[in-house]
Structure 1
């Protein structure tokens, strides 16, 4: 993590806590004195394009409850995509008498002490939630349909099950015909990209998490004074955010000329066609994964920016692999970067 112009200070460990990352971000804000440029405690309710290419932003001042309208030359959408939970529709769901929650609402394992808990979904959230709750729960069942077998070690009170067939008042039946009783169900089933503040006149559509019309997964092709930062996933997040922001600032400063709208459409259609040919679905329209290095290099080359070092991508890949093979202890691993291409595992 960290940024090219403000790296994280040298640490004795490779995995930092939430509190430590927050501390780093506060250090960053203090170093560049950016708080004076931020209008805090304002909730944006509407963004609408104007005929002159500018944008009208309507917001609510939370402390005063006053509606405020401002005009801006450009808009960067940076609201993330982990706020609108997806709940799967399962037969009998509304009959269940226990608690049903999304991983988005998880804060502590304590409320589930002594419970039998079902976790649905084996993405990173599902895997980690299962481990955390198993510390206090009587039993945790992880239901999944992962193509690859889950090889990470879990405590003895964790059991793996296939997909859910139906839900009853107190029990859940799985597609293998087995049944278990539960006190709570956690849905670790992802999020929807959501932009409730974008007026329809912005021309942005979201179809099963495929956002259009975006050039390089970022720039509104028809209204390029609007940009989305952080849409791609399975990426080196901090480094990508920084690279995308620098790319777009180059355009705003006039140091980068974008292709014509037609050329941007052709480039995007080619990118999407390659994804469909790989078997990706709409929900994977902005997934990078193995293709992230090519994406970073493309942005850096176009805008004459310093690229993300290959070692960062390699470290991210190593971390993901370790998460899936040794979830219980992978955060104890420590790595040292040797050069732009190479890292070593210290222990």
Structure 2
């Protein structure tokens, strides 16, 4: 069986590790960058790379992980022990390169190779790609395809009423590389996810002042520097530099930086693939990963608010069982009914379409369900416990939470050391 993997970030590498370990499978991994690592590879480039192709990197200088390394390793390859739990972008990239070397994955990876189209051909997948340096195009057929292109490709730019009046710069964190552009300026950061909190802090080191606008359901108790202020949602731009918030207050800015998330984006999937994305709800996916109508296509890494690397590994193990025949999927009808029931439960909990694939409090049951169906090792509950604690501390003590250091004792317990 010939398998294609699109993307050599953490999800693609985990997929390659398990596919390459399955007998009678051959493998090609398509990676548009010059090295593996996906979102963890930093580049100064914004917009286009040296070859004139789009840059999808969302990495910026100074980024540190929001989760401790104890949660971020793979089940069979943890991050090596060291004196800190929260690591830099470069350290996570180095870890992924160690992982690729450990399992001899580089021999499968086609670097600087962008997939331009995936379309079905009978029961196979026809994949067209271009080698960016030479612009040489290739088309090949595969028995199965794993989509591992990540979440951070297509930034969401909210439309602020009156924004056409604004005389300063309006940008997205996707294009942020360092804070020097904000030196001496008045900056509005929109969005209080991890990137919004972090870039507010980075901007405050050089800006005149920074306002963080948010509607986060999580209370933000962090004590920011004195030149940082929290405000509610933006209502409109009044004039060339004045912004009004929903509480009626106003403030003047030189820059607006949206930290407002991303859309799932698969620009290489031809419409004949039968995949739709509506406000980040991807259909038709069984267990948030298997194409219901064409189960030889799967998406690794769609769920969010998860223990990401651990989940990538589990999803890859599940799909390998499907491909080698040791796991039989339900009928198309039953997979569709199961998915419809899952989504009805989500809507009943108040989830929006943008939260269709959010796990959070549901993640342990999702992991256990996958592991039980595939008769494979589940993700230890301690991972979820430590992840949830770290997320809570992120909002309660953002300036200091990365000083914490943890040690996992067993499948259920950890300690702070």
**Counterpart position of 1:5:** 76
| 1:36 CA displacement | 0.7
Find the aligned partners of 2:84 and 2:375 in 1 and give their Cα distance: 33
Structure 1 unaligned segments of length 5 or more: list them: none
Q: Which SS does the other structure have where 1:142 is aligned?
A: strand
After TM superposition, list the pairs within 5 Å mapping 1:107-186 onto structure 2.
107-167=177-237, 168-186=239-257
Structure 2 unaligned segments of length 5 or more: list them: 1-71
Structure 1 residue ranges (4+ consecutive) displaced by more than 4 angstroms after TM superposition: none
CA RMSD of aligned residues (A): 0.9
The answer to whether the 8 A contact 2:112-2:132 is kept is yes
Q: Which SS does the other structure have where 1:47 is aligned?
A: strand
Q: Which SS does the other structure have where 1:60 is aligned?
A: strand
Task: Find out whether 1:216 has 2:287 as its counterpart.
Answer: yes
| 1:148 CA displacement | 4.1
Q: Which SS does the other structure have where 1:117 is aligned?
A: strand
**Counterpart position of 1:74:** 144
Q: Which SS does the other structure have where 1:70 is aligned?
A: strand
**Counterpart position of 1:97:** 167
- Give the aligned length: 345
After TM superposition, list the pairs within 5 Å mapping 1:1-347 onto structure 2.
1-51=72-122, 53-167=123-237, 168-346=239-417
1:255-276 Cα distance to aligned partner (Å, 9 max, x none): 1111111111111111101101
| 1:253 CA displacement | 1.1
| Residues 1:66 and 1:148: Cα distance change in structure 2 (over 3 Å) | closer
Find the aligned partners of 2:136 and 2:288 in 1 and give their Cα distance: 34
| 1:107 CA displacement | 1.0
Find the aligned partners of 1:148 and 1:305 in 2 and give their Cα distance: 35
1:292-328 Cα distance to aligned partner (Å, 9 max, x none): 0000000000001110010000010010001000000
**Counterpart position of 2:47:** none
* TM-score where L is the length of structure 2: 0.82
Q: Which SS does the other structure have where 1:173 is aligned?
A: strand
